């Protein structure tokens, strides 16, 4: 285990800016999205990624075109880090025809198979076998693409966790399981669901290279991911990465999260992954506050445009739905 934030080669400004842009974009998407929810423009389940941005940001920065990801019910951040079109994401949340899934999927089902995004999932734990399956497909096709499944502490006690990681192991698949250990499944603390809360050890138990990393440090996540990708491309996958993190609020937009101890929340908020990405850009690349403010304004404007685009998009009609249903 281990993988301390490695600063072997000083990262480039370009790279640091990319990390910050991704993390900040997720932050804006979620906080502005919650406002839309409160205005009644978004309905249904909305699980914010606030506080966990460092993980998707660091993980996706280590992947390349042609790779695959599978996500969770808390999936907006994964999509954004994967380079999704924010217009289509917002339109999906607003249940519009122009959304990623024509408004048929919603927050928990955004997928873009043409870009290797196997999709978010409403079933906790389901992304693991699906991701291993994509890795298997790639091995059969002779591709060296890597598949990452973003998973959770909650999913780690589901049977398919072991079944699918074990399949990936016996077949040496290019598969990386990223467990976002935010220490809660809704209101249930991890100590209540498992005796040993160091989840990376479960990979070791079945002979899988496993790491634990500070999920609130995008640079550290990226460093360990680069190592994991290298392991996979060398034919020695899969790899398990446990990224420790914490939510900035309740489980979903309507959960006040009263059960989260104040001191603990304060501890993690003081280690905010977006602040860390911003500080890295400022301190390691010498980017000025003005420049950073300009980047932030640009991202905010992009989101505002996406809201306009979505509001002006056509509604889905029962007629087109009935056509879709033919032959089902």
Partner 1 sequence: MATRELMYREALREAIDEEMAANPTVFIIGEGIAERGGSYKVTEGLLAKYGPKRVRDTPIAEAGMIGVGVGAAIAGARPIVEILYVDFAMLGMDMIVNQAAKFRLMTGGDGRVPFIMRTQGGTGGGVAAQHSQSLEALFYHIPGLRVVMPSTPADAKGLLKYALRQEDPVMFLEHKHLYMTKGPVPDGEHVVPFGVGDIKREGSDVTVIAWSNMIPRTLEAAEALAAEGISVEVIDPRTLVPLDRDMIIKSVLKTRRCVIVQEANRRGGVASDIASIVQEECFYEMDAPVEIVAGMDIPVPFNLTLEKASVPQKEDVVAAVKRVLHVQSLAAAAE
Ligand X SMILES: Cc1ncc(C[n+]2csc(CCOP(=O)(O)OP(=O)(O)O)c2C)c(N)n1
Residues at the contact surface with Mg ion, assessed by CB under 5 A: 152-154, 182, 184-185
- Of the candidate spans 129-137, 179-187, 269-277, 292-300, the one that interacts with ligand X by CB under 6 A turns out to be 179-187
Residue with tokens 């991701």: 131
Between residue 49 and residue 78, which ones bind partner 1 under the rule CB under 8 A? 68, 70
Judged by beta carbon, residue 46 or residue 309, the one nearer Mg ion is 46
Residue 73 touches which of ligand X, Mg ion, partner 1, none (Cβ within 5-8 Å per kind): ligand X
Q: What is the DSSP string of 85-99?
A: -HHHHHHHHTTBTTS
Q: What tokens appear for 5 in the block? A: 């934030």
* Binding piece for ligand X, criterion CB under 6 A, among 35-43, 82-90, 116-124, 127-135: 116-124
Q: From the CB of 326, what's the least distance to ligand X, in Å?
A: 30
- Smallest CA-to-CA distance from 250 within 44, 48, 11 is with 48
Q: Tell which residue, 79, 95, 78, 98, has the closest CA to residue 87.
A: 98
197 belongs to the binding site for partner 1 (CB under 8 A): no
Site for ligand X in 224-253 (CB under 6 A): 251
Q: How far is the CB of 182 from Mg ion (least distance, A)?
A: 4
Nearest to 300 by CA among 30, 51, 104, 7: 30
Least spacing, CB of residue 55 vs ligand X, in Å: 11
Residue 131 in the binding site for partner 1 (CB under 8 A): yes
Residue 9: C-alpha distances to residues 5, 41, 228, 250 (Å): 12, 46, 18, 38
| 153 belongs to the binding site for ligand X (CB under 6 A) | yes
DSSP state of 315: B
Q: How far apart are CA 321 and CA 23, in angstroms?
A: 36
The listed partner (Mg ion, ligand X, partner 1, none) that binds 164, CB under 5 to 8 Å by sort, is partner 1
18 vs 109 by CB, closer to partner 1: 109
What would the two tokens of residue 4 be? 């301390």
> Which residues, listed in sequence order, are joined to residue 222 by a DSSP beta bridge?
none
- Interface pick for partner 1 out of 6, 34, 41, 122 (rule CB under 8 A): 122
Specify the 3-state DSSP secondary structure of 152: strand
Check residue 205 for interaction with partner 1 (CB under 8 A).
no
Are the beta carbons of 109 and 70 closer than 8 angstroms? no
Going by C-beta distance under 8 Å and a sequence separation of 6 or more, which residues neighbour residue 9?
Answer: none
Residue 123 engages ligand X in binding (rule: CB under 6 A): yes
- Footprint of partner 1 (CB under 8 A): 68, 70, 99-105, 109, 111-114, 116, 118-119, 121-123, 126, 128-134, 136-141, 147, 159-160, 162-164, 166-167, 170-171, 324, 327-328
């Amino acid at each position: 285990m281990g993988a301390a934030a490695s600063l072997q080669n000083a990262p480039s400004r370009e790279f640091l800016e990319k990390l910050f842009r991704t993390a900040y974009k997720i932050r804006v998407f979620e906080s502005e999205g919650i406002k839309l929810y409160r205005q009644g423009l978004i309905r249904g389940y909305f699980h914010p990624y606030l506080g966990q941005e460092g993980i998707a940001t660091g993980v996706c920065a280590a992947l390349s075109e042609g790779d695959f990801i599978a996500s969770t019910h808390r999936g907006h951040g994964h999509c954004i880090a994967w380079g999704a079109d924010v217009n289509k994401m917002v339109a999906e949340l607003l249940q519009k025809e122009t959304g990623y899934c024509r408004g048929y999927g919603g927050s928990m089902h955004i997928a873009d198979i043409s870009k290797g995004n196997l999709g978010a999932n409403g079933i906790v734990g389901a992304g693991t076998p699906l991701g291993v399956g994509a890795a298997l497909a790639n091995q059969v096709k002779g591709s060296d693409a890597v598949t990452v499944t973003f998973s959770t502490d909650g999913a780690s006690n589901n049977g398919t966790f072991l079944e699918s990681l074990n399949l990936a192991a016996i077949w040496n698949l290019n598969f990386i399981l990223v467990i976002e250990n935010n220490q809660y499944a809704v209101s249930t603390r991890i100590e209540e669901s498992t005796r040993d809360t160091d989840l990376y050890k479960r990979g070791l138990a079945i002979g899988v290279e496993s790491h634990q990393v500070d999920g609130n440090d995008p640079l550290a996540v990226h460093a360990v991911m680069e190592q994991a990708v290298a392991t996979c491309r060398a034919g020695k996958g899969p790899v398990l990465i446990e990224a420790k993190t914490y939510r900035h609020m309740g489980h979903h937009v309507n959960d006040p999260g009263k059960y989260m101890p104040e001191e603990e929340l304060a501890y993690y908020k003081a280690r905010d992954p977006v602040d860390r990405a911003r500080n890295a850009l400022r301190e390691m690349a010498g980017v000025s506050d003005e420049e950073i403010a300009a980047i932030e304004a640009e991202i905010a404007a992009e989101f505002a445009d996406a809201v306009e685009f979505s509001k002006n998009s056509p509604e889905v009609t029962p007629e087109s739905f009935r056509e879709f249903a033919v032959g089902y």
